[in-house]
Structure 1
């Protein structure tokens, strides 16, 4: 990347410039970006009302070209592939030589305040007793932010985003994270592919090596810090060769990457291969074998000598063909504790995913019920895990489906440290093509989960190396909202967080803001309406998981069945069925056990019902299925019309228009295929006589 200097022009003035100094022969490179990144070349008008970065100019000298970065008011800022989403009021990069969060905080404040609030004077006062929290005190135009090393940075971003979103500054404001670890899990492979990635290739890897743009790493560090996220695991939990080398031969390169993120308060974590000692002549990975224990102890010493603040290791074991302690007749407490003890002298955490189930289940097996698996594998071990082990549990008992109940494992291990795992990557929720705002879904789950049942949060990344790092511009909302949720679930009301993101990202007029907010708030319900009905799950196209295939997973080995026939659909998971409901505390058990109290959206997850079953609103089950699919498609049509009328910036406009067109096609396919599937099975007509194919 070219060297960049950032200059603040006129402390009380209205504009700043970001200058990138490039030799003339490099300017053609930027011209090639014109179509992709929506750059435009025109003179910069330095009027008194000039907004930051409001033009893209080009000045040539004999030796250098000076590029003035374009900022489209209410849009996304780019400089050499830089994308800032909800932080458009900041310069495109942070200087590479900063070593501490305090330096970053001071820089961000100095750059943004002249525009956001030129009369405001902000001081930073370090107070280690506040840890990651901060305390802001305002007296007139003077604000003092107190905080620990990272708390100062979080406080600075809180202040700037409050100003940028038009929020009133309180005279006294304190905030601290509810959870100690707030993690992003990237599923990036060493070859540059991203498993379940929908935003381009890896930000970190290419050709088997760590290969990255340092400016984009700083950009990612800033994004994470601005919403309070503090741990980044850069490689896939399915650790494929040569990713094992991250903690071996590639360790010096990993240490350089850790140094880039350190000033943003972000610590790296690494996914490891449980069988890694076998690469070094040890014939086993048995956690009770002394040779295995010694190898991991030594390797932890090597790793922490290079990266003293590494957050720890992330492990997927005995799952979907990954090696693990079950191979040697050991349980997962024995497997996890061995690794945790290697990390403990250095303060490292061992994060152990609880995604363990029989992925070779015979579809004829009527006793095994996949949602029961995590509870059965882990709950009996409660209290047996070391204190630096965190069990990472998915939000639901299946696998990030559109609608699942809360995982009972999250409610049943009071003596064990737990992390709640979400998936920002939209594997089953539209793949960053279809709009799917997640905050409403998260709020519903937290209604059933005591806050103190977990001590950490993790989310599978939705980022990639596309110009828009989340693929769909609106998918950035989910990253933004996840940070807010991980910091304080009680402060993350869906309506509030969506409006705040829109104000920061676009600065629309109120009517346009409300229109986009309505689309985002309704997107999850609409997607649920036009896909698999009422909690049944798994009607997606196998492997790729986009688009409908009602029987695609019905006879496969993944435990993903709906058992629809001509009379009924659904799985009986009551006490008289598979017994899954018995894993819940009494209050939830009673709610889910009865069709009279079970939420409609989960009815077919817990119950097998005839198509003529009368819903609480008087409709039959089959009519509800028909209605939902017609209504879901109609919602997408209305959303497309609303989005077309919004004053989106050019870059966003191109991405949104292309994706809403694909969403319309996807919703139509879902509507027609699912309705036809059930009509052919049941033979029951739609009472409204709408078009269903025979």
Structure 2
């Protein structure tokens, strides 16, 4: 109640912000001068070493109090009691100076004690970085206007709370949508590591204690002498925030440095890795360890020499053991498959490869398991591997970067998706076996475990490419610390810290974010069919047919009558049998399989009735229309916040939500048209293929333009677009309008190709009404993987509201090509108020 009242008192000021400080911006609180009594008059940091996280915490507290309250508070390191002070340090150091705490907290590694009761604020960590975590917790309370009197211990659920960066040595980032690498450029470590320090600050603020700085598809050049020295500089930049660095390894590196083999049992290979590890620890004495991707997607590994994956992992484990380092060994191991084999199933691979090796990995090896059996899809069942490794430490791999899920151009708040796995009970031996308790090490009494989040932040000032996507990075840290937390509560903390305490802002962003994953699932792929994106090219736009007819195993097995993978033991791939009996029986029986995973486990007719009463095909139609309609509301909600959020961030989010509103319709139309065409079953609501407010570009009078058959066909309305007859020809498409006179929203569907910027001008009766540029990808206004084709990735829709027309008016759009982009157009639509199309 106190906190709720304070939210009404303290409304954050609308100040300029480019997103760089994210949720640790320490924005001023309105009327904060009334509460100076609650602000400590002095900070006592019990460490004078400038690289110490305790020293950093003192500086962070000083900056935070100055920013939030406008009050300069001194930092002292004198070891003496001080009334009205905040004392920060380790429990051991505090005890040496002040004596034993009255209520000695029970703290595990990285745990902290926070007390705001009494004459001093106590922030005490089990170790130094833990004290820093406590400082951030305290500042988070103050920044949200929370002056509650508290005294509690906070312990992380698991020791491993790491970030994975898929940064390449050339400075690019695989599946990164926020700019270039903050660590690498032109094959070496960058000279200016300021952003690395700023990143460490963000990570520490949510309790992240480790980071793998390079891509799992590793380059052995990272291990040359120059780059090992550079890794030492990265470690130095991040150490004051308690973030330990580690690296990904190329398993075949010894051959790149002159050895004739990389066999993990060869003595020369063992010696090579032992020496290389020693060289790394000379530069990075507190290195966290190694991440290994082996025998997967073309990456070399121990199977090359008929060695087991455990023998491969233990090669590195033994090299790290003298230094206390950890090997994170990815379970993402699979082979390409023959789709004609009905029992072939990529989902089976992790258990097939790793279950026989349970107990063979050294104790400092942790098997890093993706949350689902395939690859970061919009919905997957929990990986059964979590239930099959009882003698091996495990960690869950979550993807913060939205590879298959909108690539930061679509708002998708991911924690509700993650929680479907973290909270899932696998019922091993008919006992409670919740995934979060397995990865913590609790369920099977393992010494290690935790979380790895693939973040892929870059040089963009918003880090991830979108301010709203920062909520996923923030929430990942919070859930890695304590995975039982509520995603909505975490989200609302992030909103207050990022945008201030206005309840209108809080309510609008909460609604948008909490509805975003269900909406994206609805307009991309539902019923467990996976995200129906292009898996062969960009992993971004719609292309359902790309799922089948290849060896990658993300199959839908869709034909004109049926759809879905049969993963039953009785008649399918046997995947359901990889679960413990209680779970296996649920998925084996179509009657007890949840609708939202039906097509993951069962192959059915399009007319198969769901538990909801809808048929599969009608659910596809309804869900895709519903999801796209919800995406329109995100834009409307955001527009209600104009003036309540600083202009820079308001406009950045407005641009992306406008884009999402349009691209969700691209998704909706592509998927519904594809399955309507494939099944031949009409939409009962007569929406699919019926667009009375559209004018197809190819039906207009064309000059300098020509029709173009788009592939895949479903990514163009009526399967056809228009392009200029050459890359130097200006095209004109015109028509006489037959709509009733009135005011409309004018929607234009076009294609934004990488490699050129086309310009478009719109005229009504030869008077220019609007203009726009297809510059979303070429000038990085959007960070998604671009396309050089007319397809679902490049398809884009822009809307101009309030266009007045009269029946009989002449509409004309003029396209000027740029580079390889031939000013492509799909259709225009004149939409009455409230009509989405």
- TM-score norm. by structure 1 comes to 0.85
Q: Is the 8 A contact 1:189 1:243 kept in 2?
A: no
Aligned-pair CA distance for 1:143: 1.1
Q: Is the 8 A contact 2:10 2:501 kept in 1?
A: no
1:140-155 map, 5 Å: 140=118, 142-147=120-125, 148-155=127-134
Counterpart in the other structure of 2:90? 126
- SS of structure 2 residue aligned to 1:145: strand
1:112-123 map, 5 Å: 112-114=64-66, 116=68, 121-123=85-87
- 193-202 or 678-687, which deviates more: 678-687
1:469-480 map, 5 Å: 469-480=463-474
1:69-468 map, 5 Å: 73-74=13-14, 77=17, 83-89=20-26, 98-114=50-66, 116=68, 121-128=85-92, 131-140=109-118, 142-147=120-125, 148-211=127-190, 213-240=192-219, 242-245=221-224, 248-359=225-336, 361-448=337-424, 449-454=434-439, 455-468=449-462
Taking a change above 3 Å as real, the CA distance of residues 433 and 141 of structure 1, as seen in their structure-2 partners, is farther
- SS of structure 2 residue aligned to 1:393: strand
Taking a change above 3 Å as real, the CA distance of residues 666 and 548 of structure 1, as seen in their structure-2 partners, is same
Q: Deviations over 1:544-601 (max 9, x none)?
A: 0111011013112211211111211101111121110000112221222222222221
Work out the CA distance in 2 between the residues paired with 1:116 and 1:75.
Answer: 13
Taking a change above 3 Å as real, the CA distance of residues 165 and 369 of structure 1, as seen in their structure-2 partners, is same
- SS of structure 1 residue aligned to 2:226: coil
Q: Is the 8 A contact 1:325 1:331 kept in 2?
A: yes
Work out the CA distance in 1 between the residues paired with 2:567 and 2:208.
Answer: 37
Aligned-pair CA distance for 1:538: 4.9
Work out the CA distance in 2 between the residues paired with 1:188 and 1:250.
Answer: 14
Counterpart in the other structure of 2:608? 613
- 108-117 or 168-177, which deviates more: 108-117
Work out which of the two has the higher radius of gyration on C-alpha atoms and give 1 or 2: 2
Work out the CA distance in 2 between the residues paired with 1:76 and 1:527.
Answer: 31
Work out the CA distance in 2 between the residues paired with 1:140 and 1:249.
Answer: 52
Aligned-pair CA distance for 1:200: 0.7
Work out the CA distance in 1 between the residues paired with 2:207 and 2:89.
Answer: 19
Aligned-pair CA distance for 1:345: 0.7
Aligned-pair CA distance for 1:222: 0.7
Aligned pair 1:672/2:669, yes or no?
yes
User: RMSD between aligned alpha carbons?
Assistant: 2.2
Aligned-pair CA distance for 1:462: 3.6
- Unmatched tracts of structure 2, length 5 or more: 1-8, 29-47, 74-83, 93-106, 425-433, 440-448, 691-717, 719-837
Taking a change above 3 Å as real, the CA distance of residues 363 and 208 of structure 1, as seen in their structure-2 partners, is same
- 297-306 or 324-333, which deviates more: 297-306
Q: Is the 8 A contact 2:331 2:369 kept in 1?
A: yes
Aligned-pair CA distance for 1:121: 3.1
Work out the CA distance in 2 between the residues paired with 1:408 and 1:380.
Answer: 14
Work out the CA distance in 1 between the residues paired with 2:684 and 2:22.
Answer: 46
Which residue of 530, 534, 550 maps to 2:523? 530
Work out the CA distance in 1 between the residues paired with 2:617 and 2:119.
Answer: 62
Counterpart in the other structure of 1:563? 557
- SS of structure 2 residue aligned to 1:467: coil
Aligned-pair CA distance for 1:77: 3.9
- Unmatched tracts of structure 1, length 5 or more: 1-48, 52-71
Taking a change above 3 Å as real, the CA distance of residues 370 and 550 of structure 1, as seen in their structure-2 partners, is same
Work out the CA distance in 2 between the residues paired with 1:486 and 1:598.
Answer: 29
Q: Is the 8 A contact 1:75 1:506 kept in 2?
A: no
Taking a change above 3 Å as real, the CA distance of residues 50 and 644 of structure 1, as seen in their structure-2 partners, is closer
Aligned-pair CA distance for 1:141: 5.6
Taking a change above 3 Å as real, the CA distance of residues 686 and 499 of structure 1, as seen in their structure-2 partners, is same
Aligned residue-pair number: 615
Work out the CA distance in 2 between the residues paired with 1:657 and 1:97.
Answer: 45
Work out the CA distance in 2 between the residues paired with 1:74 and 1:479.
Answer: 23
- TM-score norm. by structure 2 comes to 0.71
Taking a change above 3 Å as real, the CA distance of residues 650 and 193 of structure 1, as seen in their structure-2 partners, is same
